[in-house]
Structure 1
Amino acid sequence: MQHHISNSIFRLALGLALLLTGNPLAAQIRVLMVGGGGSHDFNRWYKQEDAATLEKGGLATVIYTDDPATILGHLPNTDVLMLANNQPIKDSATRTAIFAFADAGKGLVLAHPAIWYNWRDWPLYNFKLVSGGSRSHEKYGAFTVTVNDKKHPVTKNVPASFTLDDELYHYNADPAGPGIRVLATSKNEAGVSHPALFVVKHPKARIIGFALGHDAASHELEAYRTILRNAVKWAARK
């Protein structure tokens, strides 16, 4: 009898502790990260580094794929779709499913290569989900990123400005698209600024565009890691 009471008290205490501290397993965000293509080491910086950044502390569970044919099967069990690829997604059913995912109010993080104008045969991707895109970038080198919107959850605990070596993307918003809310900008040596971090004003989905991410200089930077974790949390409505 005493043993039964002790077990009951233990379970009650455990339940209270989980209620007060949060159950990491229950809170994990399911992220599908898509990589692959050219000009970047996707396995090193996305599959390894970014996945570890997101899984730290139990924030998320990450499934990484560089095979677009697997996207369709994973989407029903995904909270946030992180596109970091510049290889084609040619399957029409997969394209339709990605738009349906957004229309269902889910979250998307469009990282570095995914905000490029990659696919001439899929203009609706850039028009609807990126609200524009990049067709060029500065030569790889140092530049400064400045946070424009310090009150947005994605910029929480991010320095007001920071410098890194990366490709400064010439992202330009499509004036006919849904529009963007700029959270941070990158400025080149000539003083010209381009959005480095932005929210796409999709009518239903939560979409973050994140222009940084060429190699170690960004993926291992604490400001980058903070933005990435914040972006996934916000996109997942956590």
Structure 2
Amino acid sequence: MLNPILKTCLAFLFLIIFGVTSAQSETVNPIKKKAIRVLLVGGGSSHDFDRWYKQEDVETLQKDGLASVEYTSDPTTILSKLSDIDVLYLANNQPIKDDATRKAIFDFVDSGKGLVLAHPALWYNWADWPEYNQKLVGGGSKGHNKYGPFDVTITNTKHPVTKGVPATFHLDDELYYFIADAAGTPIEVLATAKAADSDKVFPSLVIVKYPKGRIVGIAPGHDAASHTIEPYKTILRNSVKWAAGK
């Protein structure tokens, strides 16, 4: 029979070996975070949707497994896909004509899900759907500067959407004249934009303080000068994470 001292030593040695093996197992097989399911809707006029949204933004969001993204340029497919996603990313300025789809988008956000609104989707695109801009966008844009250089300044550095974004960054884009709707959903401005030749300052990154869902509006995004720079990519990834409640 083993004496008590030897038994104690063997038990201690077993605990050490078991602990090391478990730690190695956790290191080799870490628990993978579930990718955020995103439906990105593009299509319409005045933008290269396939290049900058379907290609560039999808790649940005899928990097390191953050999200799994499905892109569509057919708004009639939105309705059938909403039940299987965490975040709806609207980048289109083409019409969403179907009343059932319009209602489903509101129901989606009312259920607490996330909505990210890109550059083209912050425009007043649809006169026959005023509730979109009033309630989901909290306003919007009806004009912009001529394409050219301007600065974006982060005004709320503590929000998760602005985490890791430089306090100020420069780009070439269409500076949207985003104006909040006084009768619409309130917005929280996270960043502003100002052209060098003007004193006018406009919201460039906003949280739409919708009562139930999480909504982010990103005004820059016309072409490569936005989609390929790190501040934009960080904002987009942060926006999807925050909208998904991550």
Looking at structure 1, the residues matched to 188 and 65 of structure 2 have their Cα atoms a distance apart, in angstroms, of: 29
Q: Give the equivalent residue in structure 1 for 2:179.
A: 172
- Structure 2 Cα separation of the partners of residues 190 and 15 of structure 1: 59
* Separation in 1, partners of 2:204, 2:76: 30
Post-superposition Cα deviations, 1:198-226, rounded to whole Å, max 9, x if no partner, equal: 00010001000000100000000000000
Q: 1:16 to 1:168 in 2, by over 3 A?
A: same
Task: State the alpha-carbon separation in 1 of the partners of residues 51 and 141 from structure 2.
Answer: 23
Equivalent position of 1:38 in the other structure: 45
In the alignment, the residues of structure 1 paired with residue 28 and residue 145 of structure 2 have an alpha-carbon distance, to the nearest angstrom, of 49
1:161 aligns with 2:161: no
| Moved segments of 4+, more than 2 Å | 11-19
Q: CA deviation at 1:178?
A: 1.5
- Equivalent residue for 2:227? 219
Q: 1:55 aligns with which of 62, 77, 85?
A: 62
Q: Normalised by the size of structure 2, how large is the TM-score?
A: 0.89
Q: Could you list the runs of 5+ residues in structure 2 that have no partner in the other structure?
A: 1-18
Aligned length in residues: 228
Counterparts of 1:60 and 1:14, CA distance in 2: 27
User: Which residue does the alignment assign to 2:141?
Assistant: 134
Structure 1 residues 110-143: Cα deviation after superposition (integer angstroms, max 9, x where no partner): 0000010000000000011001010000000000
Shift of residue 235, structure 1, vs aligned partner: 0.3
User: 1:102 aligns to what SS in structure 2?
Assistant: helix
Task: Give the match's secondary structure for 2:232.
Answer: helix
1:23 matched residue in structure 2: 32
Task: For 2:61 and 2:69, locate their aligned partners in 1 and report how far apart those are by CA, in whole Å.
Answer: 7
* Displacement of 1:191: 1.5
- Which of these two proteins has the greater Rg computed from alpha carbons? 2
CA distance in 1, matches of 2:181, 2:40: 25
Superposed displacement of residue 190, structure 1? 1.2
Alignment match, 2:124: 117
* Match runs of 1:58-207 below 5 Å: 58-188=65-195, 189-207=197-215
TM-score (structure 1 length as normaliser): 0.92
Letter in 2 for 1:16: E
Please give the root-mean-square deviation of Cα atoms over the aligned residues, in Å. 1.9
Q: Which residue of 2 aligns with 1:5?
A: none
One of 214, 221, 234 as aligned partner of 2:242: 234
2: distance between equivalents of 1:174 and 1:200?
A: 11
* SS at 1:203 equivalent: coil
2:218 pairs, out of 210, 213, 220, with 210
